[in-house]
Amino acid sequence: MERVTQEIMLVTIAVLGGTGKEGSGLALRWANSGYRVFIGSRAPERAQAKAEELNAQLGGTYIAGMSNLEAAKNADVVVLSVPYEAHRAILEEVREALGGKVMIDVTVPIIPPHVRQVFVPDGHSASLEAQEFLGEDTKVVAAFQNVSAVHLKDIEHPVDCDVLVCGNDMDAKADAIHLVKAAGMRGIDAGPLANSVAVEALTPVLLYINREYQVKGAGIRITGLPVDG
Ligand SMILES: NC(=O)c1ccc[n+]([C@@H]2O[C@H](COP(=O)([O-])OP(=O)(O)OC[C@H]3O[C@@H](n4cnc5c(N)ncnc54)[C@H](OP(=O)(O)O)[C@@H]3O)[C@@H](O)[C@H]2O)c1
């Protein structure tokens, strides 16, 4: 794979579930930073329609839409952004395309309707379950779970929260932190993939805070660090 940190514009990014709220916001922001982005969907025509919509917003043709499998095959880095109940099924579908790649998992294990309550899955976190299922040949990194989609879709809007990034492979984690920055946020190395248990569990806490304080996009900010992390 082209290292993201070395060859920024040569790197292509697939966003599986990129027709959705979180994935489409990330796709928009990476395309706006100069990356070629492939949106994946269960229905290629839905992905194409979303790509057209985002391209129109950006005034270019940086994003293409296709099936989840095609997107995963075509990209150097694969981002998974689907509801937890779809997580395993999509991993099964794209597994063959992920060997040797970095996969950034955005998925939060919450079970509707109890979305404001921490749910710890059997494998402890969605990202750990992905790593276990895919094997060590795929470098799974957990990121973006604590950033609300409401902040992503308006590219003029600065995102006032940090992104905790967990992973076992230091190069993959550095690549993910680079992509966090490209999406307009500060990425913080938050340790090994095992720490994704805590990061994923913060999201239902933030969803609770959203409702309690009548806001839409509560996020987290780590204090005590130099400004650039
Ligand atoms: N929304 C947020 O603010 C936010 C913030 C942080 C983290 N997250 C996490 O990021 C992930 C995506 O969130 P989201 O809000 O973008 O979700 P979403 O809009 O509900 O779904 C994302 C995409 O996943 C696909 N999908 C939905 N249900 C599916 C199913 N049963 N089987 C297979 N694919 C399915 C759909 O794509 P196709 O129909 O095109 O296949 C959908 O557009 C979730 O795990 C969420 O917890 C969300």
Q: For 141-184, what is each residue's pLDDT tens digit?
A: 999 999 999 999 989 888 999 999 999 999 999 999 999 999 99
Q: What is the pLDDT of residues 51-97, one digit of tens each?
A: 999 999 999 999 999 999 999 999 999 999 999 999 999 999 999 99
Is 90 exceeded by the pLDDT of residue 49? yes
Backbone angles phi, psi at 15, to 5 degrees: -115, 100
Least confident of 12-21, 128-137, 138-147, 152-161: 152-161
Nearest ligand 1 atom to alpha carbon 107? 45
- CA–CA separation, 175 and 141 (whole Å): 10
- Other C-beta atoms lying within 10 Å of the C-beta of residue 71: 29
Which domains are delineated in the chain?
A: 8-212 (3.40.50.720)
Mutate to test the pocket of ligand 1, among 81, 84, 215 (most ligand atoms within 8 A of CB): 81
pLDDT score for 5:
53
> How many Å lie between the centroid of ligand 1 and the Cα of residue 83?
4
Identity at 225, one-letter amino acid code: L
Q: How many helices (H) and strands (E) does the chain have?
A: 8, 8
pLDDT bucket at 4, cuts 50 / 70 / 90: low
- CA–CA separation, 8 and 183 (whole Å): 13
List, chain by chain if needed, residues with CB within 6 Å of any ligand 1 atom: 17, 19-23, 41-43, 46, 81-86, 89-90, 106-108, 110, 145, 147-149, 203
Q: Which residues, at least 6 apart from 87, have a Cβ–Cβ distance to it below 8 Å?
A: 80, 107, 109, 126, 129, 130
Q: Is 5 helix (H, G, I), strand (E, B) or coil?
A: coil
Q: What is the pLDDT of residues 97-113, one digit of tens each?
A: 999 999 999 999 999 99
Q: What is the 3-state secondary structure (H, E, C) of 16-84?
A: ECCCCHHHHHHHHHHHHCCCEEEEEECCHHHHHHHHHHHHHHHCCCCEEEEEHHHHHHHCCEEEECCCH
